[in-house]
Structure 1
Amino acid sequence: MVADPGRAWPLILDLSAWYQRPIMVALSPGSPAADVAARPEQDRIAQARSIIDQAVGGKAPEPTAAVATSWAADPYLRGCYSSIARDSTREEFTADLTALQAPHGRVLFAGEATHTDFAVVDGAWLSGLREAKRLLRQPRLTLSL
């Protein structure tokens, strides 16, 4: 992992051990993300590759494939993780959260956007446990590996 908050790509993850083949993921969160997303895909890939080259102290091997996504420009993601709309009030947010947490017939929703603390990984995990208890009609769950 390379982390440099002063750059447009402050976080680059090496997922090679996970996938058993060379895979790198570059993330551009926060305020630089909008500027990065406005660039053409090939420019974003070239910029991320340049940082990877610097991290390995030379020229990294050419990728067999590369793709750049723009979660900020996707109308369904609007920046990926759940977010509160700028013009949303606390009451509207609470009402939306309450609606997402409620069962919708046989459909149950879990995920970080449905957790009261509006957390990310822990909210997704805890909301999954909430819905498992609801589905199983159990007040407690015992997890085992």
Structure 2
Amino acid sequence: MTGSPDPTAINSIAVDAEDVVTALEAGRRSGQDPVLRVTPPFSGRMRARLHRDGATEYDDEPAPIHVAPDALVTESAPVYPTPAQTEDDLREDPTVEYTRERHRERHAEAVDAWREAVTDHFVDTVTLDTPTGPHEVGVTVLG
């Protein structure tokens, strides 16, 4: 076995930008609890991959480390657009008439804009919850 069973061996995690954005969106749209999972054995640099929290139970030690996608973006990250907010914005626009089709288009545009904008708000470090307590690591964003 290469690596360590001790998650404090981790110095940094690499996350795919698309995985983080997808996890954030899934949590907001569907109420699911996606996470980015770091799977043992642990070493200095680890990859965190998209995973549905609770999808797999682990009896083996050490258990994987789960990182909430919200922990990977700053507090200043844009708020995910809801269909209701998009509808309100469209109805308040005096230059266009509200239609369901226009609402769908505007909401898709708002989500696309959010997906692009949120990638400017990734954190440089994140604190992992480990069996021995919190452990701060660097974050490298791929893609």
For the superposition of Structure 1 and Structure 2, which TM-score range results when normalised by the shorter chain? under 0.3
Find the structure with the greater CA-based Rg: 1
Of Structure 1 and Structure 2, the greater strand share is in: 2
- TM-score normalised over the length of structure 2: 0.23
